Amino acid sequence: MKIIQSIGMTLFLGALVLFTSSTFLSKVEFTKNSVKETVNENVYKSIGSELSDALQGTFSNPIKISGLVSDIYNKKNQKYKEAKEWDKVMYVGSGQLTYQLIKKNTVGWFVTSQGLLLFLTFGLGVIGALMYIIPQVVTLGPAGIKNNHVYQNPSTNRGWIAWLVFVYLVGFYVLLYFNPQFLVSQIQIVEPIKEFISGGESSQWFLYGVLYCTVMTVMGIRMIIKYRHNNYQIVRTLSVIFFQLIFAFLLVEILPLFNMPAVDLKNAWPLDYDFLFDWNVKQLFEYGNVGKFVFFWGILLSVIIVPTLVYFYGKRWYCSWVCGCGGLAETLGDPYRQHSDKSIKAWKFERYIIHGVLVFAIVMTAWTGYHTYNVLNASDSENVKASLLGISVFDIRSWYGFLIGSIFSGVIGTGFYPIFGNRVWCRFGCPLAAYMGLVQRFKSRFRITTNGAQCISCGNCSTYCEQGIDVRAYAQKGQNIVRSSCVGCGVCAAVCPRGVLKLENGPEEGRINDDPIMIGNEGVKLNYTAIKAK
Query: Site residues (CB under 8 A) for another protein?
Result: 141-145, 147-153, 229-232, 235, 343-344, 449, 451-454, 456-460, 462-463, 472-473, 476, 490, 493-494, 497-499, 502-504, 506-507, 509-510, 513, 518-524, 526-527, 530-531, 533-534
Does 490 bind ligand SF4 (CB under 6 A)? Our answer is yes
| Contacted entry of ligand SF4, another protein, none for residue 533, CB cut-off 5 to 8 Å set by kind | another protein
Q: Which is nearer to another protein, 92 or 453 (CB)?
A: 453
Q: CB within 8 A of 35, min separation 6: which ones?
A: 44, 48, 51, 52, 55, 101
Amino acid at 307: P
User: What CA–CA distance (Å, rounded) separates 478 from 156?
Assistant: 31
Q: Quick one: 192 exposed, middle or buried, by C-beta within 10 A (0-12, 13-18, 19+)?
A: middle
User: Does 475 sit near ligand SF4 (CB under 6 A)?
Assistant: yes
CB of 488 to ligand SF4, least distance (A): 5
> What is the distance between the alpha carbons of residues 292 and 56, in angstroms, rounded to a whole number?
49
Near ligand SF4 by CB under 6 A: residue from 166, 455, 470, 484: 455
Among 127, 215, 346, 458, binds ligand SF4 (CB under 6 A): 458
Q: Cα separation of 253 and 255, whole Å? A: 6
Cα 395 off chain centre by: 24
Q: Which of the stretches 78-86, 184-192, 232-240, 494-502 binds ligand SF4 when contact is defined by CB under 6 A?
A: 494-502
Least distance in Å: CB of 534 to another protein? 5
Q: How many Å apart are CA 446 and CA 440, to the nearest integer?
A: 7
> Nearer to another protein by C-beta: 194 or 316?
316
| Alpha-carbon span 92 to 232, nearest angstrom | 49
Cβ-based nearer residue to another protein, 138 or 304: 138
> Phi, psi at residue 450, to the nearest 5°?
-95, 130
Closer CB to another protein, residue 390 or residue 499?
499
What's the DSSP call for residue 92? S
* 360 vs 400: CA distance, rounded Å: 8
User: Helices 278-286 and 289-300: crossing angle, nearest 10°?
Assistant: 130
Identify what 115 binds: ligand SF4, another protein, none; CB under 5 to 8 Å per kind: none
The Cα 360–Cα 372 span in angstroms is 18
**Residue 475 binds which one of another protein, ligand SF4, none, with CB within 5 to 8 A depending on kind?**
ligand SF4
- Segments of 151-241 assigned E as strands: none
Cα→Cα distances 294→30, 75, 245, 285, 300, Å = 44, 45, 20, 9, 10
CB of 425 to ligand SF4, least distance (A): 14
Closest approach of ligand SF4 to the CB of residue 21, in Å:
38
- Report which of 442, 459, 467 is spatially closest to residue 350, judged by C-alpha positions: 467
Residue choice 472, 478, 482, 484 for contact with ligand SF4 (CB under 6 A) = 472
Q: Given the complex with ligand SF4, which of 23 and 440 has the nearer CB atom? A: 440
Applying CB under 6 A, does 471 fall inside the site for ligand SF4? yes
Binding flags for ligand SF4, 402-441, as an x/- string (CB under 6 A): ----------------------------------------
Among ligand SF4, another protein, none, what does residue 523 contact (CB within 5–8 Å per kind)? another protein
Our measurement of the distance from residue 252's CA atom to the centroid of its chain's CA atoms, rounded to an integer in Å, reads 16
Instruction: Confirm or reject binding of residue 498 to ligand SF4 (CB under 6 A).
Output: yes
CB of 482: closest distance to ligand SF4 in angstroms?
10
The residues facing 28 across adjacent strands are: 59, 106
The reply to whether 333 sits near ligand SF4 by the rule CB under 6 A is no
Q: How far is the CB of 155 from another protein (least distance, A)?
A: 12
Q: Least Å distance between CB 454 and ligand SF4?
A: 7
C-alpha distances in Å from residue 438, one per residue of 352, 482, 485: 13, 11, 9
Judged by CB under 6 A, which of 459, 477, 502, 511 binds ligand SF4? 459
Residue 301 or 465 with smaller CB distance to ligand SF4:
465
Q: What does the alpha-carbon distance between residue 384 and residue 375 come to, in Å, rounded to a whole number?
A: 6
Binding site for ligand SF4 (CB under 6 A): 448, 455-461, 465-467, 469, 471-472, 475-476, 481, 486-492, 496, 498, 500-501, 503
